[in-house]
Structure 1
């Protein structure tokens, strides 16, 4: 995989996304208690997506379900396979390879990604407890350069819908 930045550098990048100027974000999709925004990526020619929503459960249980591991493949309808390829010394940090299902009637074919995952119990508001004891405000960031001949509007629609579905699937899994 060549030289990888260390986990602290990657985590700091993620926190930097979280602290980015709010004026740069544009709403991509909004659904009950979940909003997806996007802004041009500073790393490549695509977009950085931010998703934020309310999840009704205790934060430690939410974390158990969203981090890469045994629960994730059972409920995340977008993922069809997942392997952790590298773990870091910092807890909650890993590099993973996963395959996604096709989207938009397979206009966007199933694809394989290598991704950095940083999941933390609480870090500068990335997952924070709301006024109710069993509610969390979950914020996630993803940037994906899908490349190919895909129209940007199809990518935007698929990314926004996929991120909304992540919350729908997560909420359904936590009810069980």
Structure 2
């Protein structure tokens, strides 16, 4: 499997999502975080976009969001997050185990993802990830194996507000199992709001 080629293809998709302003519908607006959605082209579900402002620079925010030494401390949705293999300087394979949520309606999931960090002009830093098959980490009966369709973070500096950045989150997870779509659609916008708020709080605590 050519992981670097997959990473490049995923990065192109995430960037295209960020350039696409058409068809988005508001799902939630809470605590200065906006979540919108549109039908996904990747699976029979939705592509979700979350937007918020973080008080720091992209070069500090993105490592804080995806490196295990930081994420395990601030991401309240994550039970365990580790790197399984480093493919290149900016590309890794990760294993994430989530807590159950929705008052137990959604049980613990695990995901094996390829993650790539990419930089663009203007100080923009992104993560680009998608689930991959990885023989060294087979599914476990302790968790439901989920599948992340192309997802990522795009972090852009705000020249008009020095020391602040706009964070845009794109996710489109297939959670697996026998979950009613209504349960998933009600849970995901809340999870995105919590993710961005946890980032805002966590990065302030680190500084």
TM-score, L = length of structure 1: 0.87
Given the alignment, which residue of 150, 154, 163 partners 2:192? 163
> Superposition pairs for residues 14-93 of structure 1, below 5 Å?
14-20=14-20, 22-89=21-88, 91=90, 93=91
The Cα offsets for residues 109-135 of structure 1, whole Å up to 9 and x where unpaired, read as 011112233344515992111111111
TM-score, L = length of structure 2: 0.75
Given the alignment, which residue of 154, 157, 162 partners 1:133? 162
In structure 2, how many angstroms separate the alpha carbons of the residues matched to 1:123 and 1:48? Answer: 21
What RMSD in Å do the two structures reach over aligned CA positions? 2.1
Provide structure 1 residue ranges, at least 5 long, that are not aligned to the other structure: none
Bigger shift: residues 118-127 or 67-76:
118-127
Report the secondary structure of 2:174's partner residue: coil
What's the counterpart of residue 142 of structure 2? Answer: none
Report the secondary structure of 1:84's partner residue: strand
Q: How many residues align?
A: 173
Bigger shift: residues 2-11 or 129-138:
2-11
In structure 2, how many angstroms separate the alpha carbons of the residues matched to 1:82 and 1:69? Answer: 6
Greater fraction strand = 2
Report the secondary structure of 2:97's partner residue: strand
> Superposition pairs for residues 88-167 of structure 1, below 5 Å?
88-89=87-88, 91=90, 93-120=91-118, 122-123=124-125, 126-130=154-158, 131-167=160-196
